[in-house]
Structure 1
Amino acid sequence: MAVLVGLVGIVVQVLPGSVLVGSAILVWAIFTGGTQAWVVFGVAAAAIVIAEVAQWLLAGKHLRKANLPWATLAVGGIAGIVGFFVVPVVGLFLFFVGAIFLLEWARHKEVAAAWTSTKAAVQATLITIGVQLIGALVAAAAWVIGLFLT
């Protein structure tokens, strides 16, 4: 169940999904024991770590290309967290996008440039979610295979 909740957490961006998936597989490996369980955990952990590194590299490259400051993303992220509580679930996306648009509009003084930067931020977020999800799905697949082998 924790693996499934972790996968959902990656998509919804409310829970640290990859950490939850990896931790659940670690707990399974501890309780299952044996070489096979630890090999499965090693494969799962490697998939999650590779995905975490890849998401930073790919999203960072995308953001540098769009010339979007990290401070804008940080404020957008904080606004998204606040928005999640103000308007449950949907507020996360609305406040994130709104904050980035407003900050970029203030920076560029043009609506078109602000919207271009906002789209780049949303694309980078989607890249991050996609890469994390792929890594966690590989980890979950290794765990399912491990269930059958142990």
Structure 2
Amino acid sequence: MGVWQLLEVGLVMLLGLFGVLVPGVPGQAIVWAAVVWWALTDTTGPAWAVLAGSTALLLIAQSLKLVLPPRRLKEAGVPRRSLLTGGVAAIVGFFLVPVVGAVAGFLGGLYGAERVRLGSHGAGWTSARTVLRAGGYSVLMELLACLLVVGAWVGVVIWG
């Protein structure tokens, strides 16, 4: 697979990561489709291993969504800007400190956005907890699963 095709696959994955943050966009399916595209083009053992692992991980993530509270972010009055800030911070955090950075980035970005919006520590923290209860855990879990898939893909592309 050429450099331009790898770049295109990476951009589709990035689109999928942001799709997780937007209600109604199937972010997990977009990330998985990008992995399928890559694995069908680069038919090596590591590529198929990433495809099999990502398929299993994303299916588990879909199953866990049944246990977590449904997304009711709009009903809770959560501004999209706060969720988007948390999501972007999670993506950046994942690549700075793999896996743990995604969770810390999401929570930190969400709290920071709510604190700026509401003006105080207490109100920001209360609002961030409300966001998590209203569906933020579901978004965080989906985003973390997709970030793990993207991280595995990056690892195989660079070192594979």
The answer to whether TM tops 0.5 is yes
Deviation at 1:19, TM superposition (A): 0.2
Give me the whole-angstrom Cα distance separating, in 2, the residues matched to 1:143 and 1:124. Answer: 31
User: 1:123: Cα distance to partner?
Assistant: 2.1
Aligned residue number for residue 144 of structure 1: 154
Aligned residues: 99
Distance 1:124 1:33 in 2: 41
Provide the C-alpha distance between the structure 2 equivalents of 1:56 and 1:125, rounded to a whole number of angstroms. Answer: 12
The structure whose residues are more often helix, as a share, is: 1
SS at match of 1:57: coil
Q: CA deviation at 1:122?
A: 6.8
Q: CA deviation at 1:12?
A: 2.0
Amino acid at match of 1:128: S
User: 1:37: which partner in 2?
Assistant: 47
The 3-state SS of whatever aligns with 2:25 is coil
The aligned counterpart of 1:12 is: 22
Q: Which residue of structure 2 lines up, in the alignment, with residue 56 of structure 1?
A: 66
Which structure 2 segments of 5+ residues have no match? 1-10, 82-128
Aligned to 2:139: 129
User: Paired residue for 1:2, among 6, 9, 12?
Assistant: 12
Q: What is the TM-score normalised by the length of structure 2?
A: 0.53
Report the residue type matching 1:140 in the other structure.
Answer: V
Query: Which one has more relative contact order, counting CA pairs under 8 Å at least 6 apart?
Result: 1
Q: Which residue of 2 aligns with 1:100?
A: none
Q: Distance in 1 between matches of 2:52 and 2:153?
A: 10
| TM-score, reference length from structure 1 | 0.56
C-alpha deviation, 1:32, in angstroms:
0.5
Structural RMSD (CA): 2.7
Aligned to 2:6: none
Aligned-pair identity (%): 24
Q: Deviations over 1:53-109 (max 9, x none)?
A: 11221226xx9xxxxxxxxx6xx98x9xxxxxxxxx77xxxxxxxxxxxxxxxxxxx
Moved over 6 A (4+): 119-122
Residues 44, 143 of structure 1: 8 Å contact kept: no
Partner of 1:101: none
